[in-house]
Amino acid sequence: MELMKSENIVQDRQPQPQEEEEIMQQEEEEEQRFHVLAVDDSVIDRKLLEKLLKASSYQVTCVESGEKALEYLGLLHHSSPASSSSSQHHHQGHKVNLIMTDFSMPGTSGYDLLKRIKGSSWKDVPVVVMSSENVPSRISMCLEGGAEEFMLKPLQLSDLHKIQAHLLKSLPHS
Amino acid sequence: MDLVQLQRQLVDYRTSLYHEGFLDEQFTQLQSLQDENNPDFVVEVVSLFFEDSERLLNELSKALEQQVIDFKRMDAQVHQLKGSSSSIGAHRVQKLCIVFRNYCEAQNVEGCLKCLQQVKHEYGIIKTKLESMFQLEQQILNAGGSIPV
C-alpha cells in the first residue's frame, strides 16, 4: 500500500522522559499545522503536490487512489461510519483539514470521492478538485457536488493562496 | 574547462531548451521548489518522469500490436503521459500527446502509430537533453561552484 506521510514518528523502544517531552512537543506542533490529504494516481503529481504543500508548511499525506483515500477516512466499507463524535475529523489521531483530489482517476474518480466525502461525517472538510483539463461542465459539476475549489494542473506555488483561504475558513469559530 | 565557463555553458544550454520549445515555464516552477532541504528535487521528479514515460510508451507499443486495439485504454495511457509531461514542463511531448489523443478518439490506427513514433522520438530527445543538463550541473558542483539560477 503506497501511503506517504511527511512526518512519521516511529518508536521501537521505551522513550526516556526527556525524549518523551520532545516527542510530545513535536506532536503538538504537528497538530497545530494544517494537514492535507492529497489524492492522485500519478506518482509525479503526488511528489509535486507534496513538495508544494510542504513548502507552505502544511503536513501532507499522499494516497494513490480514491479507494485508498476512502480507506484512510474510514469510509471504505460503510455508508455512514460509526465514528465517535470526538473523532469526527480525525484519523489515527491526526485531523484532516483539507482534501485535494485529482479528477480523473481509475476506479473511484475524484468526483466519486467528493460525493462520498460530502455524504459522510467528513462533509465539513473542504475538498479541492484538480484537473489537467479545463472543461466548464466538469468544473460546474464538481462545484455543485460540493467542491470548494476547482484547480487546473499543473499547480504552482502561487495557486496555494487559494488553499490557505479555505483552510482558514475551516477553523472553528470561538 | 573552468568553473565560470561551465556555468556559462549551463545557462546557455538551459536557455536554448526554453527557446526551442523543449521545456516550458513549468520546469522553472520545479526548479523554484528545489532548496537546501531538497537539493535533488528536480532530478528526482524528472527521474520519476523517465520511468513512468518509458512504462507508458512500452504499453502503448504493445497495445498497437494487438489484434483488437483497445483505444479507450490507450487514450487513458496517453492522458497519463500528457499529464506527467505537463507537470514537468516537457512541452513538445505534451503537445504531441494532445494530437495522439485525437487519433485514439477517432480510432485511427495509422494516426496512432505515427504519433507513437513521434512521441518516442521527442521523449528520447528531451531525456538526452535533461541528462546532459544534469551532468553539467554535477560538473559545476564537483568543481566547487553553485548552479546559476
Question: What residues does A61 pair with on adjacent strands?
Answer: A5, A37
Q: Which residues in A lie closer than 8 A to residue B27 (C-beta atoms)? A: none
Q: Is the dihedral of CA A14, A4, B33, A135 positive or negative?
A: negative
Put simply, whether A10 touches B (Cβ < 8 Å) is no
Q: Which residues in A lie closer than 8 A to residue B79 (C-beta atoms)? A: 104
Rounded to an integer, the average pLDDT of A144-166 is 91
- Give domain status of residue B46, yes or no: yes
Residue A167 burial (CB count, 10 A): 17
Nearest to B87 among A104, A106, A154 (CB): A154
Rounded to an integer, the average pLDDT of B8-37 is 95
Q: Give the Cα separation of B110 and A22 in Å (integer).
A: 64
Top pLDDT among B94 and A160 is at B94
Kindly report the backbone phi and psi dihedral angles of residue A84, in degrees, each rounded to the nearest multiple of 5, phi listed first: -75, 155
Asked if B83 and A42 count as a contact pair (C-beta separation under 8 A), the reply is: yes
CA distance A87 to chain B (A): 34
Q: pLDDT tens, B73-93?
A: 999 999 999 999 999 999 999
Which CATH architecture does the domain made up of A33-74+94-169 adopt? 3-Layer(aba) Sandwich (3.40)
Residue with cell 520511468: B51
Q: Which residues in B lie closer than 8 A to residue A52 (C-beta atoms)? A: 33
CA-nearest of A52, A102, A58, A132 to B87 is A132
For residue A158, the chain B residue with the least C-alpha distance is: B29
Rounded to an integer, the average pLDDT of A71-78 is 85
pLDDT band at A27 (very low <50, low <70, confident <90, very high): confident
Cβ B49–A44 below 8 Å, yes or no?
Answer: yes
Rounded to an integer, the average pLDDT of A53-69 is 95
Cβ B29–A51 below 8 Å, yes or no?
Answer: no
Nearest to B52 among A43, A52, A132 (CB): A43
Q: What residues does each domain of chain A span? A: 33-74+94-169
Q: Give the Cα separation of A153 and B86 in Å (integer).
A: 8
Cβ B79–A104 below 8 Å, yes or no?
Answer: yes
Number of domains in chain B: 1
Put simply, whether A43 touches B (Cβ < 8 Å) is yes
- Give domain status of residue B20, yes or no: yes
Q: Which residues in B lie closer than 8 A to residue A157 (C-beta atoms)? A: 29, 32-33
pLDDT band at A161 (very low <50, low <70, confident <90, very high): confident
Q: pLDDT tens, A77-92?
A: 755 544 444 344 566 5
Q: Give the Cα separation of A149 and A115 in Å (integer).
A: 14
Helix (H, G, I), strand (E, B) or coil at A106: coil
Nearest to A47 among B48, B82, B86 (CB): B48
Cβ A156–B29 below 8 Å, yes or no?
Answer: yes
Q: Domain span at residue B131?
A: 3-32+41-142
Q: Return left, alpha or beta for A84; rule: phi > 0 is left, psi -120 to 50 is alpha, else beta.
A: beta
Q: Give the Cα separation of A94 and A34 in Å (integer).
A: 10
Q: pLDDT tens, A112-139?
A: 999 999 999 999 999 999 999 999 999 9
CA-nearest of A70, A72, A84, A163 to A119 is A70
Put simply, whether B95 touches A (Cβ < 8 Å) is no
- Give domain status of residue B136, yes or no: yes
- Give domain status of residue B148, yes or no: no
- Give domain status of residue B101, yes or no: yes
**CA–CA–CA angle A131, A135, A139 (5° rounding):** 70
Nearest to A51 among B38, B82, B83 (CB): B38
- Give domain status of residue B108, yes or no: yes
CA-nearest of B130, B31, B119, B27 to B80 is B119
Cβ B84–A44 below 8 Å, yes or no?
Answer: yes
CATH code, domain carrying B119: 1.20.120.160
- Give domain status of residue B147, yes or no: no
